[in-house]
Amino acid sequence: MSATRQRPFRRLLSTTVCLVGATAMVAGCTSNSPEESSSGGGGSTNAASSNDDSGDEVTIGFSAPAADHGWMAGITNAAKAAAEQYDDVDLQVAEGTNDVSTQISQVETFINDKVDAIVLLPFDGAALTPVALKAMDAGIPVINVDRQFDSPFAARATVLGDNYGMGVSAGTYICSQLGGKPDSVVAEIAGIDSLPLTQERSKGFADALSDCGLKVSNRVAAEFTVESGEEAASNLLQAAPKIDAIWNHDDDQGVGVLAAINNAGRDEFFMVGGAGSANAMRSIQADDSVLKATVIYPSTQAADGVKMARLLAQDKAMSDLVEVEIPKQVVLNAPVVTKDNVDQYIDSAFES
């Protein structure tokens, strides 16, 4: 284990401590750790070395929900791939679970095993807060991914996607295509309406549309699944005889949405997807459907978490920043992917 531990937005870009692009990784930063060991704060003004240089071996515990969704499978796969880049990282991957009690037990096992750091995407952020606090109290830095804890003391660092920014990006793109046409009919196929992330996406979408004089005329909600996407889209298409643009929040449920659109024989509109799946990008690349763009919600979040956990455990920092410690929070960007730039993003996309 490392001898020293550290304890305790708006629009398209977030103004948190550090903003990392959707496909960017922490690996590109250089270390601020001194050439000789020192006590304390994660860096000094001595000569820097590459963060990717081998250091002390560290053990990182990783736990996430079950991979019952393409994006979630992408999260775990990307975390494993990030760890495999380093000969000094032993990534202990707990079996994905949607049972809160089981995930709590997994984190308790990591604590008992005295791992050097924990990367945790909680099934329920509130429910996992107490055990994350327990890990932090034990001197094990926790990297919180995607779903935030209730306490700021439960994580040393947090890696987030930008849900509000997704809505803003989708709305801004639709405005760019429909600007000057105030009578355009814009539809929205949301995810699970009770989730804050869905509410944030919808708010960002509405805010961006309002800037060009548009609004959501028809809205339905699905459940992030293919089946629910097909059902919700069928209902939408029956209720709206004319549509100019659709934003679908999630590319996994978008498989069903596109099936419903094809079955209805509708093609008078264009569609923007969400999350950034590989199959959606291939369709955009081929220009073979109404899907013309998608907005990324990075499945690289846990991969970035693993890289940050390694730096923390090795008492390194990110010298690309003036700050000599790992940022408290990183919010990833939500870029729009179109036929013009899809080649930049497709290699890091997840499979639906």
Three-class SS state of 329: strand
Bridge-based pairing of strands 18-20 and 270-275 is unpaired
CB-based contact 202:171 (threshold 8 Å): no
151-184 exposure pattern, b = at least 16 Cβ within 10 A, e = fewer? eeebbbbbbbbbbbbbbbbbbbbbbeebeeeeeb
Instruction: Name every residue whose Cβ is closer than 8 Å to that of residue 221 and which is 6 or more positions away in sequence.
Output: 189, 190, 191, 192, 193, 198, 232
Q: What was the pLDDT predicted at 319?
A: 64
State the number of CA atoms in the 13 A half-sphere of 100 facing the CB. Answer: 9
Domains within the chain, CATH numbers bracketed: 18-160+300-324 (3.40.50.2300), 163-296 (3.40.50.2300)
CB-based contact 127:101 (threshold 8 Å): no
Residue range 8-39, pLDDT digits in tens: 322 333 333 333 333 333 333 333 333 333 33
53-76 exposure pattern, b = at least 16 Cβ within 10 A, e = fewer? eebeebbbbbbbbeeebbbbbbbb
* pTM score, whole prediction: 0.82
| Paired strand residues for 284 | none
Q: What was the pLDDT predicted at 68?
A: 87
Alpha helices in the chain (DSSP H): 70-84, 100-112, 125-137, 163-178, 196-210, 226-239, 251-264, 278-286, 301-313
Question: Tokens representing 212?
Answer: 């060009």
Instruction: Name every residue whose Cβ is closer than 8 Å to that of residue 210 and which is 6 or more positions away in sequence.
Output: none
Q: What was the pLDDT predicted at 193?
A: 95
Q: What was the pLDDT predicted at 69?
A: 87
User: Across the chain, what does the average pLDDT equal?
Assistant: 87
Q: What was the pLDDT predicted at 3?
A: 37
Residue range 160-212, pLDDT digits in tens: 999 999 999 999 999 999 988 999 999 999 999 999 999 999 999 999 999 99
Q: What was the pLDDT predicted at 310?
A: 97
Residue 24 identity: A
Q: In order along the chain (352 residues), what is the average pLDDT of each group of 10 residues? A: 36 34 37 33 41 91 94 96 97 97 98 98 96 98 96 97 98 94 96 94 98 96 96 98 98 97 97 97 97 97 97 86 85 97 96 87
Residue 335, burial from CB neighbour count under 10 angstroms (0-12, 13-18, 19+):
buried
Q: How far is CA 280 from the centre of its chain?
A: 17
Q: What was the pLDDT predicted at 112?
A: 98
